[in-house]
Amino acid sequence: MSEFLARSAQYFPLLMEGVTLTIVVTFSSVILSSVLGLVWAIMAVSKSRTLRGISRTFITIIRGIPIIVQLFYIYFVLPELGINLTALQAGIIGLGLAYSAYQAENFRAGIEAIDKGQIEAAHSIGMTDGLIMRRVILPQAVRIVLPPFGNTIIMLLKDSSLVSTITVAELTRQGQLIASSTFDNMTVFSLVALMYLAMALPLTFLTRYLEKRYANT
């Protein structure tokens, strides 16, 4: 045990650099996926058949392609088309786009859960569709969406490890580099697992709290 602790103390600073980058990737991807997901969701419930079709097509395509393939395409293929991105930019955009499809389904479910009577009442007093969306639908939908949103963040945190495949030196990549130079796989990847758990647990507890908080609302 003492040897494990000594080695852990040696590897910890480098792994913490990976943790910092993991948080950056996760936080940035959450923001991007949430904004895009809300756009796709609003399009999905639009009265316009064209907008609904675009939203459904995008979501179907994105959900049907593995995230790692999307990352490879953005990082390795787009430069051939003249679009050059850093590994970090490609990772954030790839995860953001991939998870926007799942966020869209969460948001759409929240929007469609709103009582139609409220929407009709808002129309009856002269509110426009845009105003109804901002003042009536979205505030209530956000409350409904919060628990699944928390689960999505946890999933994104874990999937952030996929950006290691395009050389982003986040936690998993740092662990791989340390293990390849020290051959101390057990210590390194035990620490990596514990660090992911330490980041995921607070989100897990928060998600459970939100599920209980809004279970009967």
**pLDDT for res 185:** 93
d(CA 136, CA 147): 20
Residue 138 has pLDDT above 80, yes or no: no
What is the mean predicted confidence (pLDDT) over 3-22? 89
DSSP assigned state of 152: H
**What is the identity of the amino acid at 149?**
F
pLDDT of residue 119 exceeding 80: no
Q: In CATH, what number is assigned to the domain containing residue 205?
A: 1.10.3720.10
The DSSP call for residue 162 is G
- Give one DSSP letter per residue of 163-213, joined into a string: GGGGT--SHHHHHHHHHHHH--HHHHHHHHHHHHHHHHHHHHHHHHHHHHH
pLDDT in tens, 191-200: 999 999 999 9
pLDDT of residue 130: 73
Residue 112 has pLDDT above 60, yes or no: yes
Residue 30 has pLDDT above 90, yes or no: yes
Sequence-distant (≥ 6) Cβ neighbours of residue 136 within 8 angstroms: 114, 118, 119, 122, 127
> What value does the mean pLDDT take over residues 59-81?
95
- Report the pLDDT value the prediction gives residue 217, as an integer from 0 to 100: 54
Query: Which tokens go with 136?
Result: 């009536």
Q: Measure the CA–CA gap between 121 and 128, rounded to whole angstroms.
A: 12
Whether 206 shows a pLDDT value over 80: the answer reads yes
**Tokens coding 145:** 């969406």
The residues, ordered by sequence, that sit 6+ positions from 14 with a Cβ below 8 Å of its Cβ are 174, 177, 178
Alpha helices in 65-115 (DSSP H): 67-72, 87-112
What percent of the chain has a predicted confidence (pLDDT) above 70? 98
Residues 107 and 145 sit within 8 Å (Cβ to Cβ): yes
Domain that holds residue 25: 2-213
Q: What one-character DSSP code corresponds to residue 47?
A: S
Residue 214: per-residue pLDDT: 66
Per-residue confidence (pLDDT) for residue 215, from 0 to 100: 62
Whole-prediction pTM: 0.87
| Number of compact structural domains in the chain | 1
